[in-house]
Amino acid sequence: MIDSDDRSGLSPPELRRYARHLVLPDVGRAGQRALRDARVLLVGAGGLGSPAALYLAAAGVGTLGLVDDDYVDETNLQRQVLYGDADLGRPKVEVAAERIAATNPHVVVRQHPVRLGTDNALAILGDYDLVLDGSDNFPTRYLVNDACVLLGKPNVYGAILRWEGQVSVFGAPAGPCYRCLFREPPPPGMVPNCAEAGVLGVLPGVVGSLQALEAIKLVLGRGDALVGRLVIFEALESRWREVTIPRSPACPVCGDHPTVTELVDYEDFCGIPAAVAAVGPEALVVELAGGGSPLLVDVREQHEWDGGNLEGQGAVHVPMGQLEERIREFPDDRDIVVYCQVGARGQRAVRALRAAGLHRVRNLEGGYRAWIAQMAASAPRDTIGEV
């Protein structure tokens, strides 16, 4: 019979739950206590954060923080295994907290339903022992990197696109940081996002699980962590490659004479221009109902258009990749409202159209997803399912 006053400090339910860990020489009771006492922050509760959160919770990491201001969307379900159809429209951190509690009730989940930025990153990251970065954009990656270096927190990095994934550990003592590998961000628009380029649904499961493994190794102080090494997984060939990343003495953040000693404007650093003229979905509904006749232009990919669009409102489909060659099709004497899925590509489209001499162009804030949410919010209860 298990002693209820076990000297390891683990309760009888914990001793039973983690039995397969306790017999591992590199974990044991001391290691399980270390996991229980650990505080890990996941930046992003999407494709990478989903498997990472589930495995960290199952492993017994005592406190998990989740930073994400997004809501569950149907396009997430192909790869984000924390969510299902019943969760559509709900805050991701809220649903994730419920799933984690169902996976392991011994885990404390801290929800941060905010967008990580220069104003809050140090305060949020400062409460955790290490960070797992599952973000999907360059400003956030540089922000997480710089904040981790300034705070002395290891940063378990992961990235995915199409059939390829990457994992490394940045910000560890004597190790390199993200800027040692990528000193400068790529020009805006050079690297497509997953909505434009696609991603194999199972790939984030592989990469996110590897991130969870690296986080557990760091907590336990066991094994050879991916410090100074970038592992690249090529799913089509089932091939792993490894790239050595030396710490750069000239790195502006972690180098011998750092020049970045505080957080900066990361959208500006990544060359992302200021926000363009925009209209919210509620205002657009009023404008259309009042007789306004802006031309609605959908710049999403074909599969996104096929999955739902505003053709009934007169929208035309011009994917981002065709925008430049079809500029002459746009009227210069009519208001134009561009929309994509969530708003980012729409901003790029507005800038391209304005650069071509069309000045009566606005972006739909929040994109098609925000439009659908507005329709659902304003519809009578018994017709919501028909929106």
Q: Which residues are catalytic?
A: 194, 340
The neighbouring-strand residues paired with 362 are 337
For residues 84 and 112, is the Cβ–Cβ distance under 8 A? no
Distance in angstroms (rounded) separating the CA atoms of residues 316 and 337: 11
> For residue 102, which amino acid is it?
A
- Phi, psi for 361 (deg, rounded to 5): -125, 135
Closest alpha carbon to 149 in 41, 51, 251? 251
> For residue 153, which amino acid is it?
K
Distance in angstroms (rounded) separating the CA atoms of residues 343 and 335: 18
Question: Half-sphere exposure of 164 toward its Cβ, with a 13 Å CA cutoff?
Answer: 8
Closest alpha carbon to 294 in 340, 352, 334? 334
Query: Which segments of the chain are extended strands (E)?
Result: 39-43, 63-67, 108-112, 130-133, 155-161, 164-170, 229-234, 239-244, 278-279, 295-298, 316-317, 336-339, 361-364
Distance in angstroms (rounded) separating the CA atoms of residues 41 and 44: 9
